C-alpha cells in the first residue's frame, strides 16, 4: 500500500520533526511505501493534486490541525481515497470528534485497523467546505483574537475570553430554510456538521457526520458560565438558551456585519452565509469502536 502524509511544518507553532521521525521510523522496514509532503503555502493545492492523481496513494494522512485536514479534504472530495488525521495542530477539533489518539503509535493503529466511512461535509457560500463547525458571532470573534495574539496557557486563554465576553454583540439574523423563514436575536449561530468544539464542549448533541443533514445551532442567551462551558468543559449547552434546527440547505442574513469562521479559520466579517450539505463527500478513517460506526 502507498501512504501520502500531508504535514504542516508550522501547525500549532511547533516543529513537526517528532512526527516526521515517527513516520519514517515506522515505514523504514515496512513493505508499504510512504511519502511526506510538507506544505509551504505556495501552490500546495496544485502539488497535492499531482500527488493524489499521479502517485495514487491508497490512503492519505493529514498531520496537523483542522486547517491541514481541511486542505487534504479539499483535494480528496468525491474520491474513494480514505483520509486520516494525526492530531498535531493547535486546533484539533475534528480529531477530537473522531476520538483520535494523541500518540503516533496509536495513530498508526487507527490508520491500519480503523474503518473508512463516507462522511458528509457542508458547502459554505459555494466556495468553502466545512468538515467540523462554522459559526458567526462570538466564537468567530474568539478565533480572530487567538489568531492575532500569542495566547498561551489557561490564564491567557481566560483573559481573551473575558475580553470577548465584555464586547459581545447580539446579532439580528434571518434564517431561511426551505419555505420557512425565521428571525432571531443571537450571540452566535453555528452551522454544525459535528457535535463538539475542540475543547470538548458539546454544542450540537444531534451531530451525526453521516445523516445527510447539518444543524443550525442558535445561541440566544449567554452568560459567563455558558461561555466557559463552551471553551473548557465537556458538557452540553443549556437547551433553554439554545435552539437547534436540522437542515440540508439554509441561508443566513445578518443585519450588521458579524465575525465569521470555518473550522477554526477566521474569514472576516460578513452579512450573508449560505450552507448546503454534500452527502458522503469524503472518506474519513474512524478508530475501531467509534460510536458513529454503529449507526
- Do the beta carbons of residue 57 and residue 51 sit within 8 Å? yes
Where do the H-state alpha helices sit in 37-135?
44-50, 66-76, 93-97, 104-113
Query: Cα separation of 169 and 187, whole Å?
Result: 6
245-269: pLDDT as tens digits: 999 999 999 999 999 999 989 999 9
What was the pLDDT predicted at 226?
67
* 98 C-beta neighbours (distance < 10 Å), count: 24
Residue from 148, 137, 177, 123 nearest 271 by CA? 137
- Do the beta carbons of residue 175 and residue 184 sit within 8 Å? yes
- Do the beta carbons of residue 201 and residue 231 sit within 8 Å? yes
Residue from 147, 137, 131, 141 nearest 161 by CA? 141
Q: 108 vs 22, 84, 262, CA distance in Å?
A: 10, 10, 28
Q: Model confidence at 149, in pLDDT bands (50, 70, 90)? A: confident
In order of their start, the domains of the chain are 2-113 (3.40.50.10330), 128-278 (2.60.200.40)
Torsion of CA 215, 221, 227, 229, to 10 degrees: -70
- Do the beta carbons of residue 257 and residue 234 sit within 8 Å? no
Please indicate whether residue 154 or residue 238 has the higher confidence score (pLDDT): 238
159-201: pLDDT as tens digits: 777 777 777 789 999 999 999 999 999 999 999 999 988 777 7
24-55: pLDDT as tens digits: 999 999 999 999 999 988 889 999 999 999 99
Please indicate whether residue 11 or residue 256 has the higher confidence score (pLDDT): 256
Return the C-alpha cell found at 294: 454503529
Amino acid at each position: 500500500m502507498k501512504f501520502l502524509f500531508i504535514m504542516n511544518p508550522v501547525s500549532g507553532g511547533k516543529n513537526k520533526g517528532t512526527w516526521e521521525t515517527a513516520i519514517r521510523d515506522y515505514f523504514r522496514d515496512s513493505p508499504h511505501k510512504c511519502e511526506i509532503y510538507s506544505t509551504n503555502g505556495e501552490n500546495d493545492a496544485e502539488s497535492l493534486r499531482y500527488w493524489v492523481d499521479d502517485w495514487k496513494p491508497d490512503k492519505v494522512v493529514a498531520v496537523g490541525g483542522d486547517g491541514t485536514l481541511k486542505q487534504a479534504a479539499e483535494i480528496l472530495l468525491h474520491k474513494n481515497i480514505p483520509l486520516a488525521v494525526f492530531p498535531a495542530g493547535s486546533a484539533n477539533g475534528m480529531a477530537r470528534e473522531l476520538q483520535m489518539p494523541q500518540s503516533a503509535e496509536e495513530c498508526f493503529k487507527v490508520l491500519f485497523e480503523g474503518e473508512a466511512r463516507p462522511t458528509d461535509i457542508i458547502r459554505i457560500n459555494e466556495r468553502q467546505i466545512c468538515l467540523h463547525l462554522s459559526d458567526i458571532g462570538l466564537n468567530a470573534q474568539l478565533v480572530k483574537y487567538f489568531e492575532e495574539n500569542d495566547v498561551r496557557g489557561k490564564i491567557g486563554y481566560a483573559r481573551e475570553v473575558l475580553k470577548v465576553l465584555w464586547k459581545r454583540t447580539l446579532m439580528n439574523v434571518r434564517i431561511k430554510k426551505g419555505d420557512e423563514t425565521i428571525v432571531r436575536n443571537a450571540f452566535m449561530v453555528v452551522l454544525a456538521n459535528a457535535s463538539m468544539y475542540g475543547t470538548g464542549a458539546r454544542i450540537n448533541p444531534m451531530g451525526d457526520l453521516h445523516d445527510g443533514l447539518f444543524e443550525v445551532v442558535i445561541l440566544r442567551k449567554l452568560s459567563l458560565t455558558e461561555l466557559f462551558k463552551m471553551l473548557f468543559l465537556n458538557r452540553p449547552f443549556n437547551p433553554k438558551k439554545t435552539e437547534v434546527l436540522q437542515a440540508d440547505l439554509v441561508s443566513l442574513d445578518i443585519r450588521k456585519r458579524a465575525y465569521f469562521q470555518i473550522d477554526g479559520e477566521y474569514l472576516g466579517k460578513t452579512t450573508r452565509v449560505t450552507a448546503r450539505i454534500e452527502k458522503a463527500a469524503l472518506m474519513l478513517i474512524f478508530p475501531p469502536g467509534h460510536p458513529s460506526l454503529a449507526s
